[in-house]
Chain A
Amino acid sequence: MRKRIGFFICHCGINIAGTVDVKKVSEGLSKYPGVVHSEDYIYMCSDPGQSRMVEAIKEKKLDKVVIACCSPTLHETTFRNAAKVAGINSFQCEIANVREQCSWVHKDMKKATAKAIKISKAAIERARLNESLEPISVPVTRRALVIGGGISGIQSALDLANSGYEVILVERSPSIGGHMIQLSETFPTLDCSQCIMTPKMVEVSKHPKIKLLTYSEIQEVAGYIGNFKVKILKKPTYVDPDKCTLCDECTKVCPVAVPNEFELGLTRRRAIYIPFPQAIPATYTLDINNCPGLFPIACGKCADVCEPGAIDFDMKPEILEEEVGSIIVSTGYDLYGKEEMAEYGYGKYEDVLDGLQFERLLSASGPTMGKILRPSDHKEPKEVVFIQCVGSRDPELHCAYCSKICCMYTAKHAMLYKHHVHDGQPYVFYIDIRSGGKDYEEFVQRAIEEDGVIYLRGKVSKIFQEGDKIKVWGVDTLSGKVIEIDADMVVLAMAMRPSEGASELAKKLKIALDKDGFLAEAHPKLRPVESLTSGMFLAGAAQAPKDIPEAVAQASGAAVKAVNILSQDRLYHSPTIATVNLTLCTGCGMCVDVCAYEAIKLEEGKAVVNEVLCEGCGTCSATCLRAAIKVKNITPLQVHEMIKVALGG
């Protein structure tokens, strides 16, 4: 079929017409092959301008139009909508940018006019080969999955559920709560962490829209934005939570004692246990790895004493399959381990603790019921050394990044220590104090001025035990003095790092990691809660070290981003996507490798494009040696023709 192309050039007042002879362009293009209508008008984007275009399309039965005007970023949509009104497909309208890229940057009218003609011809050549396309749309599964039940995951789940969407919250440990439930009091307000956390945990458990899966792990994720299919492994707890009355008889008879994870090894727990009294779900878990054995039953004492008969040794792992439209990943952090920090005697000396262990000592419900006592001899420590940046900001040996929260929690630790032990003396070794945040600087000042915390700027060079003291040697770089402290206890502000297993999970989700192993955001400034995989969002310390308010803010942000998707009936996607010529494709998979969106897969030896994931960048097309893949409406043939006319034909 012969193409009937209409060409319109806008004067844009004198913005274009001042430098480009629009009459000459219009006249020149009227003789160009395929062009059956050519005109110039003072303001094409005005209503009368658009009407002229619509009328011309109708009257002259145009099937394609090219408008030479300003940058397509400004009015491409305007003219494409007008083209649609006139009855042609919006992709049959192309823009020739003769203002920003021509009239505004040149002075010589003759040359600018010649260039405007070339630009216009190139746009006509492109339009000539444009396909009519309709936006691609896919239905949306209006449910969300939140992975990780710490404060971030809880916040995201609640926000989503309160917006009316069903949420599946998956947590791998037996209870939700994450690290926040382990904390004693939180900076800078010193409100009790458990007091503010437990109501949220209870809300999660009671919320009709939230399906809570604890002791569960993500096994497999397939699909794409709006339509993810997730397989979740629910591990057996061997305790029926509905029957369990929390009588605690089972733990009394269990013969096994292992380090208590919740108390960070400061106490021991049984093989059957509740992680902590306020655990959600409120039930016991039989830790099969430490139980004397179920296959065959080696002990069975817990079941014998369980009056309600809640213990069920026949419980089996279950694989649950769920469909969701969006996924929020909030897998949190771990502290740097003792293996990595042997130089500070961590893991070697009982009274060298990490920050979370000290939180437990401070906690009213902790192993010492809120009294600060040394793990080694249960004596009250009178001199405590806090060391900041342990493992952080050390690109040579450890992590290059700043763990961000340590300055503040160390100030809090030192302050709370002083509140407990009035005659004690806290020292803090620091590199810098980073106290950006609402009321944070004031908090640190309070620790120094009101609570008499001694801040020493410098690094600790050596820690060793001598008698019942822990000798801390260092240098105060401000005074230049050598410091030697006979400490009773040392608390290390360990670096935060991505939680264990985060990278394996990221692989399953196809979410990229940054250089430190944290989940990578789509853009460091403008898309901080989105992952590079569309439909998946990031919340909390899984993305980077952050404190509670930041984690909560990001969690709410992620929830809103998920709602953006879940609130749609269908998702619409640009149809200018890659398409494969199956005859030419040899299945080499180079396009699969270069696709940033994992939108291409090999099926039966041929590349197949997922039209929802493809963003139409065309990197696949330049990579393909067989010219077997191209992006619709900016095909190599179109560019080839554009090059010809852009050079004068």
Chain B
Amino acid sequence: MVKLDDIKKECKSILEEGKVKYIVGYKRNNNYYMSIPAFIEKIEETDQLIWDPTCVYNLVRFLRDEKLRKERQKTPDTRPIGVIVKGCDSRAINVLLQEKFIKRENVYIIGVACEKSGVIEKKKLRKKFNEKNIKQIEFGKDNNFIITTEKGKTTISAEEILAERCIECNNNTPVIYDVLLGEKVERSLSEHFRSLEKFESISTEEKWNFWKKELDKCIRCYACRSVCPMCYCDECIADSISLAVKPDTTAEEKAQKIRWVEKSPVSSENFSYHLIRALHLAGRCIDCGECERVCPVDIPLRYLNKKMEKEASEQFGYTAGLDPEKPALVSDFKDDDPQDFII
């Protein structure tokens, strides 16, 4: 397992050398057991950094904020920012590079291999522990997590509280980095798309009932969109906008907005929103699980994206974020792409 000291050492050294403006990593959130994102500018702040199974966040999201900030500044500091990425997160960087949203020189990538472990899923954790009692979760030996509560330390097999996406992950080592910490180890904890099986074997009506129940809960808070590193558009087509409103935009032009999705959180519009989102993330989603993590009403959003990931992989041999030089899933084709469903 990656040593926290190695991460700190690397971060110190790049800050010392002035290679990066600041580093986005993880730190402790006061006494709470979950980590939070940390923005490390000074060498002494590197001591705040942590690396444990609660480092769930995909920090690549902050590259967008940085880009926007830089665009607003007159004389921006053009040095890259450092970002700590897991295997999944690193693929997000590749997608952003593929879509020319960022440039390689804008980011210093500190890759951290998950090796045979990963991050926790709160839902699973809650089933086993009273969250309030948890002080800390650490990586233990032999794929275990060590959970510290008021009563002391408990060792638990990682798989019991490991995020489902980590169990299904086959990119446990970053695919792009400036420095790689930890070891590149092969692992297959599970079938890559195992969690989808339970959906694919049920009847059409059962599928519908499931998703109807889930998506009807959506309150359209757009947290899923806000947290997603791929949702970097200034204007989302789900916001009934196909045209940017400027001071000189006429009423007629405003009327030319297409309302693909209405704002009301009703069934039809929720479906439209989430289906368009899934399609827009096809070939781009790297399964960092952030959308599902932030959903206040616990919609299992990940499965919609996972389904697209599965079809991309099985029908078109495409995996998001592996090669920034290749065309995207939907801007490419093979002559012999499957077409059995076409009449």
Give A contacts to B, CB under 8 Å.
Answer: 129, 581, 583-584, 586-591, 593-594, 602, 605, 623, 625-627, 636-637, 640
Contacts and interface: CB of A to CB of B under 8 A. Distances in A.
Given A593-B327, A593-B328, A637-B256, A627 B242 contact: yes
Contacts of B302: none
Given A593-B327, A593-B331, A626-B235, A636 B242 contact: yes
Task: Give the residue among B258, B327, B330 with the most A Cβ atoms within 10 A.
Answer: B258
B205 interface: no
A587 B99 CA distance: 7
A593 B326 CA distance: 10
B234 interface: yes
Contacts of B330: 590, 623
B62 interface: no
A600 B100 CA distance: 15
Contacts of B232: 586
B61 interface: no
B233 interface: yes
Contacts of A581: 242-244
A546 B218 CA distance: 65
B328 A586 contact: no
The 10 closest A-B pairs by CB, nearest first: A583-B244, A588-B99, A593-B331, A590-B331, A593-B327, A627-B242, A594-B331, A627-B237, A637-B258, A625-B280
A626 B100 contact: no
B280 to A, nearest CB: 5
B211 interface: no
Interface string B152-194: 0000000000000000000000000000000000000000000
Task: Give the residue among A587, A589, A591 with the most B Cβ atoms within 10 A.
Answer: A589
Task: Give the residue among A586, A587, A605 with the most B Cβ atoms within 10 A.
Answer: A586
Given A637-B242, A640-B260, A586 B327 contact: no
The range of chain B's interface size is 20 to 34
Contacts of B260: 640
Interface string B240-269: 001110100000000011111000000000
B325 to A, nearest CB: 12
A597 to B, nearest CB: 15
A588 B258 contact: no
A73 B295 CA distance: 51
Contacts of A589: 99-100
Contacts of B259: 640
A587 B331 CA distance: 14
Contacts of B280: 625
23 contacts: A581-B243, A583-B234, A583-B235, A584-B242, A584-B244, A586-B99, A586-B234, A588-B100, A588-B101, A588-B328, A590-B327, A590-B328, A590-B330, A593-B327, A593-B332, A605-B100, A626-B233, A627-B237, A627-B242, A636-B242, A637-B242, A637-B257, A640-B258
Task: Give the residue among A583, A588, A636, A637 with the most B Cβ atoms within 10 A.
Answer: A588
B272 to A, nearest CB: 12
A583 B243 CA distance: 8
A587 B101 CA distance: 7
Contacts of B331: 590-591, 593-594, 623
Contact of B100 (A583, A602, A625, A637): A602
A590 B99 contact: yes
Contacts of B242: 581, 584, 627, 636-637
Contacts of A640: 258-260
A80 B337 CA distance: 40
Given A586-B99, A593-B328, A605-B100, A627 B244 contact: no
A602 B101 CA distance: 13
A373 to B, nearest CB: 50
B25 to A, nearest CB: 27
Interface in B327-341: 327-328, 330-332
Nearest to B280: A625
Contacts of A586: 99-101, 232-234
Task: Give the residue among B256, B328, B332 with the most A Cβ atoms within 10 A.
Answer: B328
A586 B96 CA distance: 11
A626 B234 CA distance: 9
A640 B98 CA distance: 30
Contacts of B98: 588
Nearest to A582: B244
B223 to A, nearest CB: 20
Contacts of A591: 331
A593 B328 CA distance: 9
Interface in B38-70: none
Contacts of A588: 98-101, 328
B323 to A, nearest CB: 14
Nearest to B327: A593
A636 B276 CA distance: 15
Nearest to B99: A588
Contacts of A626: 233, 235, 237
A625 B258 contact: no
Contacts of B256: 129, 637
Interface in B287-343: 327-328, 330-332
Given A625-B280, A627-B242, 10 more contacts: A583-B234, A583-B243, A583-B244, A584-B243, A586-B100, A587-B101, A590-B330, A636-B258, A637-B258, A640-B259
A637 to B, nearest CB: 5
Contacts of B246: 583
B162 to A, nearest CB: 32
A586 B242 CA distance: 13
A623 B327 CA distance: 12
A640 B101 CA distance: 29
Contacts of A625: 233, 237, 280
Contacts of A623: 330-331
Contacts of A602: 100
B100 A587 contact: yes
A382 B312 CA distance: 64
A583 B256 CA distance: 15
A590 B235 CA distance: 18
A627 B101 contact: no
A129 B242 CA distance: 15
A623 B329 CA distance: 10
A588 B280 CA distance: 13
A410 to B, nearest CB: 34
A627 B279 CA distance: 14
Task: Give the residue among B100, B257, B280 with the most A Cβ atoms within 10 A.
Answer: B100
Contacts of A584: 233-235, 242-244
A581 B331 CA distance: 19
Nearest to B326: A593
Nearest to A639: B258
Nearest to B252: A1
B310 to A, nearest CB: 20
Contacts of A129: 256
Nearest to B281: A625
B258 A627 contact: yes
Nearest to B237: A627
A593 B330 CA distance: 10
Nearest to A636: B258
Task: Give the residue among B243, B246, B331 with the most A Cβ atoms within 10 A.
Answer: B331
Contacts of B234: 583-584, 586
B339 to A, nearest CB: 17
A129 to B, nearest CB: 8
Nearest to B255: A637
A590 B101 CA distance: 12
Nearest to B257: A637
A590 B284 CA distance: 12
A584 B99 CA distance: 14
A379 to B, nearest CB: 53
A583 B98 CA distance: 20
A605 B330 CA distance: 20
A602 B244 CA distance: 20
A153 B212 CA distance: 66
Nearest to B279: A625
A591 B100 CA distance: 13
